[in-house]
A and B are shown apart, each in its own frame.
Chain A
Amino acid sequence: MELSLATHTVGEHTVLSVGGEVDVYTAPRLRERLLELIDGGAHRIVVDLGRVDFLDSTGLGVLVGALKRLRSIGGTFALVCDKEPLLKIFRITALDQVFPLHATVDAAVDADPTGAGA
């Protein structure tokens, strides 16, 4: 399944919903979209991986890149993921200790201490 990207806002947060396969071929599109959002002023970003059915190291690299970029400008970055196969990928790579991971978008927004929820 091809990559799909859709954006909406919840309170002060920008939610990027990602679907399909995030791999070495499609990850550059995810990177471009995240950079567009950040450069466009979105500094509280939640990436919803709920409809992602494949995620590889390149995709993880893009997500870490966005986290570092936002951290450097005082922003926040969180992921929404409740699928066990994807969660296992985060555990194996130890990236579960790097990203704030939440089961729902609402939980991710509520957990952000810097921004008011919806």
Chain B
Amino acid sequence: MATVRLSFSPAPVHVRTARLVGVAVARRAGVREDLLDEVRLAIGEACTRAVALHRQYGLPDPVLVEMSDGAAYAVRVVDRAPIEASIGLTALPPDELANESLTDEALTTGVGFALLAGFVEDLQVRPVDEGIGTEVRMVWPVGR
């Protein structure tokens, strides 16, 4: 099993780098070509969420992305925001999406979670084992 770790300052400009690395490692791990767009989008959404949480809480700590290939391709995106920030991760129904009272942040969060849940069959959002923070864990099959 090979592991690639990337940690980056919580700035939007680095999310693209995380996407590119995540897809490159996925391709090398043997994830099917037709799944790579979904891998790219899901890693981007998980990192965008982590960056937003770090900025919301003024946390300078880096966001960690860990990619492992083995029997499957597993990606962990770890933030260091308080756990309660993760509560409320729910997809929004269509009639609420364009609701005037919905804030831009709530909309983006809801849409981001809908994308994660929609594109990743094997998705877990859980507290990190040690310290403060949440881990978004995504797994894709490899074709070997």
Interface assignment of A93: CB less than 8 Å from any CB of chain B: yes
Q: Which residues on B sit within 8 Å (CB–CB) of A71?
A: 98
**Cβ-closest chain B residue relative to A55:** B41
- By Cβ-Cβ distance, the 8 closest A-B pairs, closest first, are A92-B118, A57-B112, A61-B108, A94-B94, A25-B12, A97-B94, A57-B111, A24-B12
Interface assignment of A85: CB less than 8 Å from any CB of chain B: yes
Docked-complex contact B98 and A64, CB < 8 angstroms: yes
Q: How far is the CB of A73 from chain B (nearest CB, A)?
A: 13
Interface of chain B: mostly helix, strand, loop or mixed: helix
Interface assignment of A58: CB less than 8 Å from any CB of chain B: yes
Docked-complex contact A21 and B112, CB < 8 angstroms: no
Query: How many of chain B's residues touch chain A, expressed as a range?
Result: 20 to 34
Q: How far is the CB of A34 from chain B (nearest CB, A)?
A: 13
Known: A56-B48, A85-B37, A94-B94. A25 touches B114 (CB 8 A): no
With A24-B48, A98-B94 given, can you name 15 additional A-B contacts, CB distance below 8 Å? A23-B44, A25-B12, A25-B15, A54-B44, A56-B48, A58-B108, A61-B104, A61-B111, A64-B97, A68-B98, A68-B100, A89-B115, A92-B119, A94-B91, A97-B97
Contacts from A to B (Cβ < 8 Å): 21, 23-25, 54, 56-58, 60-61, 64-65, 67-68, 71-72, 85, 89, 92-95, 97-98
Interface assignment of B93: CB less than 8 Å from any CB of chain A: yes
Q: Which residues on A sit within 8 Å (CB–CB) of B37?
A: 85
Contact of B15 among A24, A61, A89 (CB under 8 A): A24
Contacts from B to A (Cβ < 8 Å): 12-13, 15-16, 19, 37, 40-41, 44-45, 48, 51-52, 91-94, 97-98, 100, 104, 107-109, 111-112, 114-115, 118-119
Q: How far is the CB of A31 from chain B (nearest CB, A)?
A: 9
